[in-house]
Amino acid sequence: AAFISACNDAFRMPLLNRFFLLSADLLSTNRSSIFSGHHGQLSLTAVFLDEYRDRLFLGGKDVLYSLLLGPTSSESREIYWPPLPGNREDCIQTGKEPQTECANFVRLLQPYNRTHLLACGTGAFQPMCAFISVGHRGEHVFTMDPLNVENGRGKVPHDPSFPFASTFSGGELYTGLTADFLGRDSVIFRSMGERSTMRTETDQKLLHDPKFIAAHLIPDNDDRDNDKVYFFFTEKATEAGDREGAIHTRVGRVCANDVGGQRVLVNKWSTFIKARLVCSVAGPHGIDTHFNQLEDVFLLRTKDERNPDVYAIFSTISNVFQGFAVCVYRMADIREAFNGPFAHKEGPDYQWGAYEGRVPYPRPGVVSHCLLTTGGFGSTKDFPDSVLQFARSHPLMWRPVFPALRQPVLVKANIPYKLKQIVVDRVEAEDGQYDVMFIGTDVGTILKVIALHSGNSLETEEVTLEELQVFKCEYKLLFIMSHVLFNASKQQALYVGSPAGVAQVKLHRCEMYGKACAECCLARDPYCAWDGSSCSRYVPNSKRRFRRQDIRHGNPALQCVDQNLSGKDYLDVTEDKMVYGTENNSTFLECVPRSPQASVSWLVQRDDRKEEVKLDDRVMSTDQGLLFRRLFHQDEGIYICHSREHGFTQTLARLTLQVLPGETVDELMARDNAGLSDSFKDRSGGNYRAWMPCSSYSRGASSSQMSQSRSWFKDVIQLIGPSNLPLVEDYCERMWCNDKLRRKHKSMLEKYRQAQEGARKARSKSSGERNRTPRDLRAQEGY
Ligand SMILES: *[C@@H]1O[C@H](CO)[C@@H](O)[C@H](O)[C@H]1NC(C)=O
Ligand SMILES: *[C@@H]1O[C@H](CO)[C@@H](O)[C@H](O)[C@H]1NC(C)=O
Ligand SMILES: *[C@@H]1O[C@H](CO)[C@@H](O)[C@H](O)[C@H]1NC(C)=O
Ligand SMILES: *[C@@H]1O[C@H](CO)[C@@H](O)[C@H](O)[C@H]1NC(C)=O
Ligand SMILES: *[C@@H]1O[C@H](CO)[C@@H](O)[C@H](O)[C@H]1NC(C)=O
C-alpha cells in the first residue's frame, strides 16, 4: 500500500472527458478495489481465475495468493515459494540480476484436478513446478509442500521476462516458450499426462524467433479426437523474402491426439501447421498499413464452443507512425486457411507460391477420429513417411486469415499510450447485441469501447464509453479478465493486474452518466438504460417495460421526448461563473464536454445579443475550452459553451469574462492601501463581503459565502500564478481581516471604484465607435 500511495492521481491529467475516472474516484464509489499483497508490492506474474470455486489465484515473485471472491468477502491466503535451496546463489553466480531474475517468478497457474492446481515458476533460472492443494468448492484451502517440486523445464521459460503461453487440457500441458537457459530453443511442447512428451523440431521453418501470446484448445466438433490446440504468436516471416526481419502474426495448431511418427518425427509434432493472421487498413495510395505485431488475444466464447470469436490487438510501431488495431477472426475463416493450399518455395531462387503438387494422404495437419478408425491408422505413428516428410517441409499455409469484414473493428493511431490487453463482453441491449471491449493500456488505464456498424456500410464508428484509470501510477497492465460470479446477483467484474497488484472493477456504473434521460441515452452504454427515473443497469427481458436506450444512434430526442428533455432542472448543468483576465495577457475559459463524442460551440452575449465567438489565431477553441492568447477589452461578455451530440444540444457553462486593465493586478500586489477595481466586484452579489477571501477566516461566514470567496480566490491565483500565492494571502489578510483597515479601505475603495468607472465609461464610448467595422455597416445596410 505504501508503494502505491507514493504517487498520486495528479500524475496524469484527465485526457478528454468526464468519463475519465481516476483511481481515487473508482475506489471511493466502490467501483473498484485493489489487492496489492500482504507486503506492499505483489510483482504479479501469473493469474488464474477459477470460476467454479469463485477464487482468484495469483502468482508473483516468490509468492502465491488465493483470493476468495464474493460480494462481501475478500479473504486472502498466501504461500511463500522461493527457489530451491542454493538455486538463488547459483543464479547470481552466473551474473543474473538478484532482484529481477534470481527469484522464483510464478509464470503458470492451471487447474490440475478437482483438488489441486499446477503452479510453475522460474525458480531462479531453474524452472520448477508444484501441486497446490486448493480444496473443494466452498472451502478455502491453500497449501503446498515447497520441497515436493518437479522439474519445470519445458513448462515455463527460465527467464521471467520471456514471452510464454500455455493451456492445460485432458491432464496434459501445452506450452509455447523458449525452453533452455539461453532462451534460444523456441518450441511448442506437450508434457505431463500418460503420453510421451511432444515437441516441435528445432527448425526456423517451424518457429523463427517466436513470441507466444496465447494458447487455447478449441474443438472441431463433438468428437474429442478432433480437438485442436491453437497457438497465437508472432515470428520472423521467412516468406516475406527481401524484407529482412519482417514480423508476421500467426495462428498455429496441433492436433491433440498427435503422438508423432515412428521412424521420422519421433516424439515430434506431425500435425503442426500455421497461417498468417492479417490485420490491415487500406491506405490512400493502395498500399495497406499492416498491423503485424500481436499484443493480445481474447477468445469470446459463445454457446457454440467450436466457434468462439477471436479478438486480437495488433500494433505497428515505426519512426513515423505508431498505430494499434483490434481485429476479429471467425474460426471458420481460420479453418478454411488450414484446409487451403500449403505455401511452397521450389528453391532458393524461386518465389513463394501455393503448393500445386499432390498432397499426400492423410493430409498433414489433420488427424480425425474418422481417419484413425476407417483409414486403418492406429495413430499418427502409422502415417506413411511421405506424410511426415511433407508435414515437416510445409508447415505454412499459403492463404492468410483475414478478419471479419476484412478490416479492423477499431484503429487508434498516434495516441500517447499503447494498447496491450483486451477482454470482450457480449451484452444484450434493447436494440441488439453489442461487444463491449475493455482495452488495457501501458499507462494503467482501461478503455471501454464499442464499435458500431452504421447500416449496411463497412464503416465502423467507435464509441469510447469510459476511460478508467485503475491504478494510481502509470503501470503497464499485465492482464485483464472478466468474470461472472456465481452468486445470486451474478455480479460481473473485471480483474485487472499490474505489477502493483490486482484490481476488481465493476463493468458499469450507470448512475454516473447523469440524472436525465437524455444524458443516459447519450452515454450509449449498452449496460445502462433510462428506467423512467434514473440511469440504471439494463436487464434484457425484464418485466419493466419502461426502458429507454438507443445504443446505435444515441438519439435522446427520440427516446426521451416525454422525459423532461427540456426540463431545466435536469439538463441545464450550467454554473454561472466569473472569470477575470488581464488586458493584453492570455486567459482561458474552461468547458469540457461530458462525452468525447460531443462537439463544442461558443456563443458570446453582449447587451442581450448572442453571437457565435469568432475564432482566429488569437481566440482558439481547444479540447478543454476557449483560449484567448491575448485579451482585449472588447472581449468582455458572457460566454456560453454548448455541446452538441446527435442533434442534442446542452449548455455546459456560462462564464462572465471581465477584462482587468493591465495595471489593476500590479496595484493589487504592490500597494497595500490600493483599492480594488470594479471588475472584481461580484455582480450577482453586489457586495464586497460575499467574496472577500477572509470571510472564510471570520466566524459566521455561511458556506455559500465561503465557496464564493474560494472561487474568487482561485480566479486570482489563476491570474497571477501560484508563485505569488504567499503575497496574495498576506495581502488579503491585511486587506480584509483587519476591521480598522477594512473601514479605511472601504472609503478608498469607493474612490478608486468611481475613478475606474469614469475611465471605463470613457473607454467604452470610444471603443463603441471604433468597433463599427465595415461588416457592421454592411449589416446595417441589409447585406
Ligand atoms: C462503499 O462500501 C462501503 C463498505 O461496504 C460503504 O460503507 C460505503 O457507503 C460504500 N460507498 C458508496 C459510495 O457506495
Ligand atoms: C490431484 O492431484 C494431486 C497431485 O498429483 C493428488 O495428490 C491428488 O490426490 C489429486 N486429487 C484428485 C481428486 O484426484
Ligand atoms: C418533469 O419535471 C417536473 C419538474 O421537475 C416533474 O414535476 C415531472 O414529474 C417530470 N415529469 C416526468 C415525466 O418525469
Ligand atoms: C502579463 O504578461 C506578462 C508577460 O507574459 C507578464 O510579465 C505579466 O506579469 C502579466 N501581467 C499580469 C497582470 O498578469
Ligand atoms: C495593450 O496593448 C496595446 C497595443 O499594444 C497598448 O496600446 C495598450 O496600452 C496595452 N494595454 C495595457 C494595459 O498594457
Domains assigned to the chain: 33-153 (no CATH), 164-415 (2.130.10.10), 510-568 (3.30.1680.10), 573-660 (2.60.40.10), 673-781 (no CATH)
User: Does residue 69 register a pLDDT over 70?
Assistant: yes
Q: What is the pLDDT of residue 523?
A: 79
pTM of the model: 0.72
**Rounded to whole angstroms, how far apart are CA atoms 525 and 464?**
9
Q: Is 656 in the pocket of ligand 3 (CB under 6 A)?
A: no
Q: Is 724 in the pocket of ligand 4 (CB under 6 A)?
A: no
One-letter-per-residue 3-state SS of 316-368: EECCCCEEEEEEEEEHHHHHHHHHCCEEEECCCCCCEEECCCCCCCCCCCCCC
Over residues 671-677, the mean pLDDT reads 37
Q: Select the more confidently predicted residue: 780 or 473.
A: 473
259 contacts: CB under 8 Å, gap ≥ 6? 195, 196, 198, 379, 380, 381
Residue 603: pLDDT over 80: yes
Question: Is 8's pLDDT higher than 50?
Answer: no
How does pLDDT run across 264-320, given as a tens digit for each residue?
Answer: 999 999 999 999 999 999 877 778 889 999 999 999 998 999 999 999 999 997 777
Minimal-distance CA residue to ligand 5 atom 6: 584
How many whole angstroms from 27 Cα to the centroid of ligand 1?
A: 10
534 lines ligand 3 (CB under 6 A): no
Q: Is the pLDDT confidence value at 118 over 60?
A: yes
- Please report, as a single letter, which amino acid is at residue 473: C
133 Cα nearest atom in ligand 2: 3
Kindly provide the residue ranges of all beta strands, DSSP E only, lying in 557-674, ordered along the sequence: 576-582, 587-590, 599-606, 609-612, 619-622, 625-628, 637-645, 648-660
Which residue minimizes the CA distance to atom 1 of ligand 5? 584
* C-alpha 104 – ligand 1 centre gap (Å): 38
Q: Is the peptide bond before 362 cis (omega within 30 degrees of 0)?
A: yes
State in Å: Cα 10 to ligand 4 middle: 27
Q: pLDDT at residue 616 above 70?
A: yes
Q: What is the pLDDT of residue 59?
A: 93
- Of the listed ligands, the closest to the CA of 506 is 1
Closest atom of ligand 5 to 662 CA is 13
Q: How far is the CA of 530 from the centre of ligand 3 (A)?
A: 14
**Tens digit of each residue's pLDDT (9 = 90 or more) over 130-183:** 999 999 888 899 999 877 899 999 999 999 999 999 999 999 999 999 999 998
Report whether residue 167 contacts ligand 4, using a CB cutoff of 6 Å. Answer: no
**Does the structure show a pLDDT above 60 at 692?**
no
Instruction: Sort strands 609-612 and 648-660 into parallel, antiparallel or unpaired.
Output: unpaired
| Closest among 119, 87, 120 to 103, alpha carbons compared | 87
Q: At what angle do helices 725-736 and 703-720 cross, to 10 degrees?
A: 140
Of 246-250, 317-321, 502-506, the range with the lowest mean pLDDT is: 317-321
pLDDT exceeds 70 at position 686: no
Strand, coil or helix: 639 = strand
Of residues 770 and 357, more confidently modeled:
357
The residue whose CB lies within 8 Å of the most ligand 1 atoms, and thus the one to mutate among 21, 25, 30, 72, is: 30
H-helix or E-strand spanning residue 501:
strand 501-505
Residue with the bigger pLDDT between 77 and 40: it is 77
Highest mean pLDDT among 117-131, 139-153, 408-422, 592-606: 117-131
The response to whether residue 325 sits with its C-beta less than 6 Å from ligand 4 reads no
- List the grid coordinates of 255: 492436433
Among protein residues, the one with the nearest Cα to ligand 1's atom 12 is 29
Q: Which of 57-66, 108-117, 402-411, 688-697 has the lowest mean pLDDT?
A: 688-697
Classify burial at 285, counting beta carbons within 10 Å of its beta carbon; exposed 0-12, middle 13-18, buried 19 or more.
exposed
Q: Which ligand does the CA of 32 lie closest to?
A: 1
Answer whether 511's CB lies under 8 Å from 536's CB.
yes
- The residue nearest atom 6 of ligand 1, judged by CA position, is 30
Ligand 2 touching residue 135 (CB < 6 A): no
The secondary structure element, H or E, covering residue 217 is strand 211-218
Which grid cell sits at 280?
A: 490491415
Q: How confident is the model at residue 529 (pLDDT cuts 50, 70, 90)?
A: confident
Nearest CA-CA partner of 185 in 157, 144, 150, 219: 157
Atom of ligand 4 lying closest to residue 660 CA = 13
Tell me: the pLDDT tens digits for 742-769? 454 455 445 545 555 655 565 555 444 3
Q: Which residues contact 67 (CB under 8 A, 6 or more apart)?
A: 35, 55, 56, 57, 58, 74, 75, 76, 502
Centre of ligand 2 to C-alpha 131, Å, is: 8
Whether 718 lines ligand 4, by a CB cut-off of 6 Å, is no
Q: How far is the CA of 132 from the centre of ligand 2 (A)?
A: 10
Number of the ligand 5 atom closest to the C-alpha atom of 583: 13
Cβ atoms of 190 and 167 closer than 8 Å: no
**Considering only CA atoms, which residue is closest to atom 1 of ligand 3?**
564
Task: Give the range among 115-119, 225-229, 237-241, 726-730 with minimum mean pLDDT.
Answer: 726-730
Binding site membership of 569 for ligand 3 (Cβ less than 6 Å): yes
Split at pLDDT 50, 70, 90, the class of 327 is: very high
**Residue recorded with cell 456560453:** 640
Pocket test for ligand 2, best of 114, 115, 141 (most atoms within 8 A of CB): 115
pLDDT band, residue 75 (cuts 50/70/90): confident
pLDDT at 409: 93
What rounded mean pLDDT belongs to the chain?
A: 78
Return the ligand 1 atom nearest residue 29 CA: 13
Q: What is the pLDDT of residue 397?
A: 97
pLDDT in tens, 192-243: 989 999 999 999 999 999 999 999 999 998 888 899 999 999 999 988 866 6
Looking at all shown ligands, the one closest to residue 516's CA atom is 3
- Residue 232's closest CA among 163, 139, 332? 163
